[in-house]
Amino acid sequence: MKILVVDDFSTMRRIIKNLLRELGFNNTTEADDGSTALPMLKGGNFDFLVTDWNMPNMEGIELLRAVRADPELKSLPVLMVTAEAKRDQIVEAAQAGVNGYIVKPFTAETLKEKIDKIFERIEAG
């Protein structure tokens, strides 16, 4: 499984990559905001996108919308891992078609649980 991790803080990208490795996902790539992530996603054969919200240039919510609007990418599972905690924003992400939403600070267990849930749903169709 090929995963793209998008966060403007390299420390957080490393933490997420490490956690994903512990969960058995070794094929991860990093991007530091939406505008660098989007071209990587196009034709990059990614199976899963983990993204932050608050980033320079192109925020995570815009990236999510761009992914959903792209015929090739629209069914890509997207997990948002962000410090954004406003109810409105969570609703906004849900309406934009996010597959999971984790608020920072989070635990390794939460990440595992959400990823499991996302893939269970996808397998169930």
Partner 1 sequence: MDTDDTSTKAQLDLARQLVAYLEAGEEDQASAVIRQLRIPHERELFDELGKLTRDLHEALNSFRGDSRLVELTRDEIPDAKERLNYVVTMTEQATHRTLNAIDEAMPVAETLHSGSLELAERWARFRNRDLSVDEFRDLARDLDDHFAQAGAETERLRSLISEIMMAQDFQDLTGQIIRRVIRLVHEVEENLVGLIRLSSAKMEPAQQPTKAVKEKTAETVDQEAVGTMGHGPVVPNTVDAAADVVSGQDDVDALLSSLGF
Binding site for partner 1 (CB under 8 A): 7, 9, 11-12, 14-15, 18, 22, 53-55, 59-62, 65, 82-92, 94, 96, 101-108, 110
Nearest distance in Å: CB 99, partner 1: 9
Q: What's the closest the beta carbon of residue 47 comes to partner 1, in angstroms?
A: 21
Between 40 and 104, whose beta carbon lies closer to partner 1? 104
Length of the chain in terms of residues written = 125
Kindly give, in sequence order, each residue whose CB lies less than 8 Å from that of residue 117, ignoring residues fewer than 6 positions away: 100
**In terms of CB distance, is 61 or 115 closer to partner 1?**
61
**How far apart are CB 45 and partner 1 at their closest, in Å?**
27
Question: CA 116 → CA 12, 23, 79, 84, 111, distances in Å?
Answer: 21, 10, 11, 22, 9
> Nearest-CA neighbor of 36 among 70, 2, 72, 66?
66
- The token duo for 61 is 């919510």
Nearest to partner 1 of 42, 121 (CB atom)? 121
